[in-house]
Structure formats: structure tokens, C-alpha cells
Amino acid sequence: MESLEADSVLSGSLGEEEEEEDLGSPEVMDTVFQFEGLESSEEEAEVEVQGEVRQLDAPEDEDMINLADLKPYILCSICEGYFIDATTITECLHTFCKSCIVKHFWYSNRCPKCNIVVHQTQPLYNIRLDHQLQDIVYKLVVNLEEKEKNLIHAFYKERGLEVPKPEATQPISVRRKKARKTLSAVFQLPPELDVSLLLEFIGAEEGTGKFKALEKKFVRVSGEATIGHVEKFLRRKMQLAPACQVDIICGDHLLEHYQTLREILIAIGDTAIQDGLLVLHYGLVLSPLSLT
């Protein structure tokens, strides 16, 4: 009897161990997890941890990209914000927000990053909108595009203006074998602006008063503009006093107010041209009327 009871106890313990092993086997556990997973949504769950987006069913060895690692490539170095209307300089391929780089070129013709001269007179003509980069930024930064659209809508609404409608995308013809690559300039050069000036300051006579230094010495104007127009431009930009007179010289010739730039080019010739620019020297002297 004792041997029978021992055998039955031993067989019972072995049976329990087998059941535990069966329940703990990978096949059974996978089945249990799959069954429990049916209660949740069938969509892939995502977890956001410190700017990283992870999929619960993603492999453990899959590399995740942190948004902070991409910021040097999607931030404007002028405003330090995400690119809005990403615009690239064609000379050095540095990218900024469109509004930021346009404002910068009002005061300088150099790239804010590498300091290269973008264009002697009109740097705005050497920038291009980068639609692909802007699309990438909008996909990486959540709700950025929606926020920007809301700001634009609020801007026009506050001023009682009509909100501009987005440009409709043109359908692509199936018959085209090769896509046409288009690079549209942000600004088009007007044909009437046919003369580029280089304004060189040669000094000011004592007593002409305080004045502001000319920030942009490269100017592109029409050939029909006169020396009088150039003087008015200098007066406004340099904030000159009425007692100050502006003398403008081209080569060895003191120019008159009525002379047009095209006439000066014809009369003086290539001696006044430097690297395709008409060089005009100007100085500040006391007006004869102020001495009387």
C-alpha cells in the first residue's frame, strides 16, 4: 500500500510539473498574448518617449531617430525656429525662412551663415523656394503646418483682407516620359532696371553735420534715372541735413542733376564701368546757400 501511495504521489507531482511546463511554453504564451491582443484596437499602438516615436511591434534592434538630432537641418539660423517657406540661396545652398532671408538682404548682400557675396546688387534674385524641404519639415513637426495656416488666416482677417487661396496643383500628364524640372525664382528682375550702380563715398566737408552711413552701395535702377534721382536716394538713406550738398562724380566729370545714367554711359564709356557696374563717387560739401 505504501508503495502504491508513493507511486501515485510521485506520478501526481510529475503531472503537475508537466502542466506547468505546458502553460509556460512559448507556443502557449504566444497564443495567450494573441488572444488578449484581440480585445484592443487592431491599429498599431505608438508610444512617444522624449521626442521619439516607437511602435510596440517594432524590432528591438531598430534604430529610432530623435527629433532633436534633426533640428540643425530644419531650423532657421536667423529666427531659430522651424523653416516656414524654406528658401535656399543658390550660391551656397544655405536655407532660411523666406521672410527672414528677405529682411536680411535689405541690409546685406551676404549669406548670414557663410558670409559669401550672394549678388553684388540684387541678392534676392539668387534665392529659390525649397518645397521638398518644407514638406519634410511639416511632416516631422506635428501641427506646424496647421498652426501656420491659422496664423495667416488670422493676419488677413484682422486687417479685413481676403485670405489668399492655396494654389491648385496642376495635373501631371501621363504622356510625359520625363518630369520637367522647374526652378522658379522668388523674384523676377524687371527689364527696365538695366543699370547697376556702385556708389563710393569719398568724404564729407567739415560742417556738413551728422549723417548716416550708406548701408547698401550697390543699386540697380533704370537707365532713365537722373543724377537728381541718385542724390534724392542718398539724401533719404543718409538722412542728410538741408545745408549739405551732394556732389556726384563719374571719373573726372562732375555730374549735373539733369543727366540720365544712360547718357553718362554713352558719354564716358567703358572707363566708368567696373565689373559691369557704373561707378559713381559722391562727396558731401556745404551748400553755397548756407554760407550767405
Q: Which helix (H) or strand (E) holds 33?
A: helix 26-37
pLDDT in tens, 47-104: 444 444 444 454 555 667 787 888 888 999 999 999 999 999 988 999 999 999 999 9
- Average pLDDT across the chain, whole number: 75
**Per-residue model confidence (pLDDT) at position 271:** 80
**Quick check: 12 pLDDT over 80?**
no
DSSP state of 51: T
Q: pLDDT grade, residue 175 (50/70/90)?
A: low
**Per-residue model confidence (pLDDT) at position 251:** 83
Contact predicate 201/282, CB 8 Å? yes
Which tops the pLDDT comparison, 233 or 49? Answer: 233
**Quick check: 118 pLDDT over 60?**
yes
**Quick check: 180 pLDDT over 70?**
no
**Per-residue model confidence (pLDDT) at position 195:** 84
Rounded Cα distance, 32 and 37, in Å: 9
Contact predicate 283/202, CB 8 Å? yes
- Classified as helix, coil or strand, 278 is strand
What is the percent of the chain where pLDDT is above 70? 67
Is the alpha carbon torsion for 261, 264, 270, 274 positive or negative? negative
pLDDT in tens, 241-292: 888 889 999 988 899 989 998 888 888 877 888 888 889 999 998 877 665 5
Contact predicate 264/250, CB 8 Å? yes
Selection from 77, 106, 78 nearest residue 187 by Cα: 106
Tell me which amino acid residue 252 is: D
Rounded Cα distance, 257 and 232, in Å: 10
